[in-house]
Structure 1
Amino acid sequence: MTSNDPVFADEHTSKLLARAMLGRTFHDCPVDVIDRILDAGTLRTYAAGEYVVRRGTHATNFLLVVRGELEHSATYVSGHRHLFGFLRQGDCSGIISLMDGGEHIVDHIARVPTVLLAIPNAAIMREMQDQPQLCLALLRQLAPRTRIKYSRVTLDPGVPLPIRLAWALQTMATLYGLRRGEKIVLDVKLSQGDIADWLGVSRQHLNPHLKQLEKDGIICLGRSSLTILDPDRLARIAAS
């Protein structure tokens, strides 16, 4: 079986998990609607580093992350990569293309072995005709992401990098953080290169500022992880 083959060994388990994820995402929708959406979808598996979709290609499916993790990014001709964010279990993608029929805006790349439920846009649109709850559920998914993206765009580029870094880590904590007492563990694989691409700076430029936060006891850096040890101090830096 190839990594793109929708049929794989634990398909039954993944189907049950997909049903649970749909139930959580569209919890206000009738059970029969959720079941029809599930039946219309196809399970697909991707290896770490594999492209799920490429920006500029025609969008035909609404995607739900059943297992694993995707990144949203764009790599330009210059080789520069801009990281927009991550999608984790239960998150969905393709809402804008579903609504306007347009192309994919960003690349979707599996960061770890990932299972997706690909649901034809036409199947979602059919259900939306009679199910306002489905429309509201999609808006609830879209609204917070849009607000954060606008906040990133409107952040003054003249703000010193240490403050922009603190703000970025706060944003990641809001999106991906798990509370562990006073600490916040970012529940995504996160390298220094990822943070640099999120901020649009070089890794070499960013590294001293990360090291300073670590030296001050505000964060703890792992090989592919980051823990915020002192969220209050980080917030004060971001607010300054």
Structure 2
Amino acid sequence: MKTSSIIEFKNPISKYQHDVDDGLHSDYKVINNEFIHKSIRILENYQFIQSLSHADKSTLIQHLKIRKYYHNQTVYNQNDPCTDINILLEGALKLGWSTSQGKYHTDIFVPSGTLINIVPIVTGQPLLHDHIAQGRTVIANLPGQLFVDVIRNNADALFMVLKLICVRTQLNREQNFIYSTETLQTRLAKKLVFLVDYHSYQDKDKILLNLKLSQENLAELLQTSRQSINKELAALSNQNIIEVKYNQIFILDFEKLSNIAQTHQFHSTTKFL
């Protein structure tokens, strides 16, 4: 694969990594704080923030608190009360839970650049997932009640938050459909495509996933056995589509991987935001 054919695959929600200046943060003293600066850049990517007044934006930014976590540190436990909106600045969060059979079910690895926990804040319900740091992870916390107070009197902001929730709900429904209709090979390929979109970087002529995932991790994500994952990874390796070394996955042919990931009954363009 030529290098030029893979450079477009970057985290779609990490625009804050680029140097831009659109005025939102230009007059805030907090700009000197690296992580507050990243928090502002991420918020700029979400449409609801664009509908708020300068005063409301300033209020949100002034209440941001930065928290740092080490690899595998638990940020929240399932059923913990939810009091903060979280903005994931660096690293990733593994969201999952322990099953009654004593196994762990991983639902998703949330990428950096993501704003999460809107639903439990709005509904006043506890968290459905454990939140576990993957690698060095940095999170900005925004008081949930403040978030609600700021957006509730702005119809445009409320609509954009509703749209965001609907997009994520649609994605969950699509995932349920795929799990019930598609082969393990297709589901694995689709999961790898997601990881390329949100958890990868270019390494010479390859795409390298920056999450080190064991076969057990992939089995948790796809609700199958490690042995089945091993078989499917071997098949992809034999076709020179991927390369696996010590829990590190290299994508050698993204086009072929994307073709395998295509579902047959519907064509979705929903992206995680």
Q: TM-score range by the shorter chain?
A: 0.7 to 0.9
- Aligned-pair CA distance for 1:222: 3.5
Q: What is the CA–CA distance in structure 2 between the aligned matches of 1:235 and 1:223, rounded to whole Å?
A: 23
Cα–Cα, structure 1 residues 44 and 102, in superposed 2: closer, same or farther, change >3 Å? same
Greater shift after overlay, 26-35 or 116-125? 26-35
Q: What is the CA–CA distance in structure 1 between the aligned matches of 2:180 and 2:82, rounded to whole Å?
A: 32
Greater shift after overlay, 150-159 or 44-53? 150-159
The correspondence for 2:122, drawn from 99, 103, 107, is 99
| Contact 2:208/2:251 (8 A) holds in 1 | yes
Cα–Cα, structure 1 residues 212 and 84, in superposed 2: closer, same or farther, change >3 Å? same
- 2:112: which partner in 1? 89
The question of 1:202 aligning with 2:225 is answered: yes
Greater shift after overlay, 165-174 or 50-59? 165-174
Cα–Cα, structure 1 residues 61 and 38, in superposed 2: closer, same or farther, change >3 Å? same
Provide the secondary structure at the position in 2 that maps to 1:77.
coil
The question of 1:56 aligning with 2:79 is answered: yes
The correspondence for 2:170, drawn from 126, 143, 147, is 147
Provide the secondary structure at the position in 2 that maps to 1:227.
strand
| Contact 2:111/2:198 (8 A) holds in 1 | no
Tell me, which stretches of 5 or more residues in structure 1 are unaligned?
A: 1-10
Tell me, which stretches of 5 or more residues in structure 2 are unaligned?
A: 1-31, 265-273
Cα–Cα, structure 1 residues 203 and 185, in superposed 2: closer, same or farther, change >3 Å? same
Cα–Cα, structure 1 residues 225 and 126, in superposed 2: closer, same or farther, change >3 Å? same
Q: What is the CA–CA distance in structure 2 between the aligned matches of 1:18 and 1:169, rounded to whole Å?
A: 27
Q: What is the CA–CA distance in structure 2 between the aligned matches of 1:180 and 1:113, rounded to whole Å?
A: 21
Aligned-pair identity in percent equals: 23
The correspondence for 1:24, drawn from 45, 48, 60, is 45
Provide the secondary structure at the position in 2 that maps to 1:113.
strand
| Contact 1:74/1:107 (8 A) holds in 2 | yes
Matches within 5 A, 1:91-240: 91-155=114-178, 157=180, 159-176=182-199, 184-239=207-262
Aligned CA RMSD, in angstroms, stands at 2.7
- Aligned-pair CA distance for 1:106: 0.9
| Contact 1:49/1:111 (8 A) holds in 2 | yes
Higher relative contact order (CA 8 A, sep 6+): 2
| Contact 2:207/2:251 (8 A) holds in 1 | yes
- 1:8: which partner in 2? none
- Count of paired positions: 230
Q: What is the CA–CA distance in structure 2 between the aligned matches of 1:132 and 1:190, rounded to whole Å?
A: 42
Structure 2 residue identity aligned to 1:160: T
CA deviation profile, 1:41-91 (whole Å, cap 9, x unmatched): 322222211111111121111111122221111122322122221223221
- Aligned-pair CA distance for 1:102: 0.9
Provide the secondary structure at the position in 2 that maps to 1:102.
coil
CA deviation profile, 1:8-61 (whole Å, cap 9, x unmatched): xxx933223323322333551344322211222322222211111111121111
| Contact 1:185/1:227 (8 A) holds in 2 | yes
Provide the secondary structure at the position in 1 that maps to 2:135.
coil
Q: What is the CA–CA distance in structure 2 between the aligned matches of 1:54 and 1:238, rounded to whole Å?
A: 32
- Aligned-pair CA distance for 1:184: 4.4
Provide the secondary structure at the position in 2 that maps to 1:126.
helix
- 2:61: which partner in 1? 38
Q: What is the CA–CA distance in structure 2 between the aligned matches of 1:14 and 1:31, rounded to whole Å?
A: 20
| Contact 2:97/2:129 (8 A) holds in 1 | yes
Q: What is the CA–CA distance in structure 2 between the aligned matches of 1:66 and 1:171, rounded to whole Å?
A: 19
Q: What is the CA–CA distance in structure 1 between the aligned matches of 2:238 and 2:143, rounded to whole Å?
A: 49
